[in-house]
């Protein structure tokens, strides 16, 4: 247990270091919130009763490390190897390491659009995936969306640019075609129905409604009706 605690502390330091240059939508604070959400969901789902003894460690490390090497911020392809190298240095058991890497590889929205090829499902994956998606919706999700859009100098809203439907993985990854408001329709409003755990579904309801209320007010103000 002491070794696991030290590994988690070193993972936190790695996250702070590697993500320090990211904008506030994908900084260390995001990783720490996802970790806290994932552990909370795991406890609510009683994951320790149904999975392996290392399940909570898998959940915590995967949640902490999930955005290291993110394609939106990767400056060097070798950054994608940082997590695996870290886990090896920490002496994480091979089977545990593979589960963590599988979660990180398979949890993204773009992977969902791509059909989750070569991804093995597990309760740990579902918990971390739901936690990441919960942090993308609700009040924090709105703040993150506008922070990211601003960092990329994205158009706030243009009524003539319609949200894209039936996005492919490749289209979704082409961020240049989006406006910030369209991102709600292309992704964020879809996340409630993609939650994998009962605990995630319950929490997503409130956050989803908050976004709907926000967008309703946004459009009324944009059109001069409020």
pLDDT in tens, 183-209: 999 999 999 999 999 999 999 999 999
Nearest to 145 by CA among 192, 184, 185, 203: 184
| pLDDT band, very low/low/confident/very high, at 118 (cuts 50, 70, 90) | low
Mean of all residue pLDDT scores within the chain: 91
State whether residue 170 is helix, strand or coil: helix
Is residue 173 scored above 80 in pLDDT?
no
Domains of the chain in start order, with CATH, are 2-222 (1.10.3210.50)
pLDDT average, residue stretch 177-181: 87
- pLDDT tens readout for residues 50-102: 678 899 999 999 999 999 988 787 766 566 689 999 999 999 999 999 999 99
Give the relative orientation of helices 123-134 and 55-65 as an angle to the nearest 10 degrees.
40
CA angle 45, 110, 47 (to 5 degrees): 10
pLDDT at 168: 73
CA atoms within 13 A on the CB side of 217: 6
| pLDDT band, very low/low/confident/very high, at 133 (cuts 50, 70, 90) | very high
pLDDT average, residue stretch 16-26: 95
pLDDT at 151: 94
- The two three-digit tokens of residue 213, written as one number: 């209320």
Is residue 117 scored above 60 in pLDDT?
no
CA atoms within 13 A on the CB side of 17: 9
pLDDT at 163: 92
Contact residues for 35 (Cβ-Cβ < 8 A; gap 6+) = 60, 63, 64, 131
pLDDT at 49: 66
CB 124 within 8 A of CB 47: yes
Is residue 150 scored above 90 in pLDDT?
yes
Cα distances from 222 to residues 62, 67, 186, 217, in angstroms, run 40, 34, 20, 8
Q: Considering the chain, what percentage of its residues have pLDDT values greater than 90? A: 74
| pLDDT band, very low/low/confident/very high, at 177 (cuts 50, 70, 90) | low
């Amino acid at each position: 247990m002491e070794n696991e605690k030290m590994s988690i502390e070193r993972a936190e330091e790695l996250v702070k270091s590697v993500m320090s240059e990211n904008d506030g939508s994908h900084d260390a604070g995001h990783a720490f919130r996802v970790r806290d959400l994932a552990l909370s969901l795991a406890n609510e789902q009683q994951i320790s009763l149904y999975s392996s003894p290392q399940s909570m460690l898998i959940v915590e490390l995967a949640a902490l490390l999930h955005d290291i090497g993110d394609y939106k911020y990767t400056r060097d392809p070798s950054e994608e190897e940082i997590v695996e190298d870290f886990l090896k240095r920490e002496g994480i058991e091979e089977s545990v390491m593979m589960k963590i890497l599988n979660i990180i590889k398979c949890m993204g929205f773009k992977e969902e659009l791509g059909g989750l090829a070569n991804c093995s499902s597990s309760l740990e994956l579902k918990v971390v995936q739901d936690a990441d998606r919960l942090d993308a919706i609700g009040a924090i999700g709105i703040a993150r969306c506008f922070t990211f859009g601003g960092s990329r100098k994205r158009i706030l809203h243009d009524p003539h640019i319609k949200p894209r439907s039936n996005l492919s993985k490749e289209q979704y990854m082409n961020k240049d075609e989006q406006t910030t408001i369209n991102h709600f329709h292309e992704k964020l409003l879809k996340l409630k129905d993609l939650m994998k755990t009962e605990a995630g579904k319950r929490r997503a309801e409130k956050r989803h409604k908050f976004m709907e209320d926000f967008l309703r007010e946004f459009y009324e103000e944009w059109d001069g009706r409020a």
